[in-house]
Amino acid sequence: MTANSLRSFAGGLLIAASVCGAVYFFGTSDAAQTQAEEKISIDEMQSSLAAQGYFVYTEEEWHEQLDHVRAEAYDEAEANMAVEQGNEETAETNESVEYRTKLILTVSSGMTSIDVGDALVRADIIESSMAFYNEVENRGLANALRPGTFEIDSEMSLDQVISTIFK
């Protein structure tokens, strides 16, 4: 670039910056117009909200409403508990409930007998994962873990669980 063309380019930048600055400083300001809005009173706000379907309460009225709702919920819960206690007493005398746990155990390659024992403990099938691991080690089945999906029941003995999961 020659010196003359560089001066022309700099002059163009100076004129463009001057025009932008003048528009910025002397242009109309929208901020002044937004501040000029009139403020409406509290009564007008409440009537406007009520007309749109909203409920407007004071702090006191709101707390009264909350206390009333809590009291109703408490009374209803007490009534339900009394009915449930009567039903429970009747049900307990008629039958005993027996719980069984079924576990769908997925053994993937890379899992160890300790991992399997932890899963069985989480499902309340066995009491101790370490006892399970020791039993597997004593039988020499630590390397005989079969990958796959197995159905384990809480009524199964430890021998049945081991024979199901290991080869």
**35-58: per-residue pLDDT in tens?**
656 788 888 888 888 899 888 888
Contact 136/142 with Cβ under 8 angstroms? yes
Average pLDDT over residues 156-166: 86
- The tens digit of pLDDT for each residue in 62-96 reads 899 889 988 998 888 888 888 777 666 655 555 66
pTM over 0.85: no
Q: Show which of 58, 80, 96 is a domain's final residue.
A: 96
Residues 6+ apart with CB under 8 A from 128: 117, 121
Q: Averaged over 23-28, what is the pLDDT?
A: 86
Domain of 84 in residue numbering reads as 44-96
30 inside domain: no
| Residue 110: DSSP 8-state | T
Tell me: do 108 and 89 sit in the same domain.
no
CATH number at residue 148: 3.30.1490.480
CB-neighbour burial class of residue 120 (10 A; exposed 0-12, middle 13-18, buried 19+): buried
Residue at 38 is within a domain: no
Q: What is the pLDDT of residue 92?
A: 57
